[in-house]
Structure 1
């Protein structure tokens, strides 16, 4: 068990599986593959995406490795079981409140609309439950219909709508 802000929470396992995916804890060696798979030309210079440059991707990876080491939370690289292709990432990170972790996921453009985000997020939320987390939340822009469908499939419900500099932001949550 880990102490600290997530006291009483077991460490999430570094390797998970689902029907079509292998989920392995993010490592430093994954940065270049994540950047190549998830950087999309349509992203503007103002994008908040951690994958818009290799440097930002490396920082994102370092933060996720630190969270696994210090809080037991895990972000995973998603690979197709048959081809070994990197299709995205999914995991949880520290949230703003004790015992609340934020779920995040990103699927490479060419793999979207196949249910892979839902499959990966289901495996991660199941692992959160097994590790003893009591609640998981996600923030989604109102116009991101696909992402809303993913969290609703996980049993998450809209709890509040906040405003930030980019507009409305829905917060969904589920008690585990």
Structure 2
């Protein structure tokens, strides 16, 4: 598996699957979640509502993942995962790592070969960027998958730099 890092807009990635840093309601929100729902159009929300009514009436638990259509995005699917909110007094690294493992598991079920990830939990969920980047890189490195490329799509230069440093630490580049 190849890991690539780019600065850009995840909603513009021509990949098999885009990972959404969703909230547990699956009904849209701010940040990456809001951008994916806006650009992808109503088909994504329609499938999320169906998942909520049939499979997950209480919402998507933290660290789990589900897939929907990508609607009007240039991807085939959206894999929704809920990252943990950062709490300094509690180690939630396992939940954050689970977001990546579960998303790759879903990608394998779908047959996705190229998957784009955002910096999960680093926005309104306040996970420290450097720590989240290391957790993400380790989880991707340690998860067996048939995915050919994991592409981290980082919104700004600061996020890109943190993920580049984590890549160097974890993959020894």
Given the two structures, how large is their TM-score scaled by the length of structure 1?
0.38
Higher strand share: 1
Higher helix share: 2
For the pair shown, the structure with the greater C-alpha radius of gyration is: 1
Higher relative CO (Cα under 8 Å, sequence separation at least 6) belongs to: 2
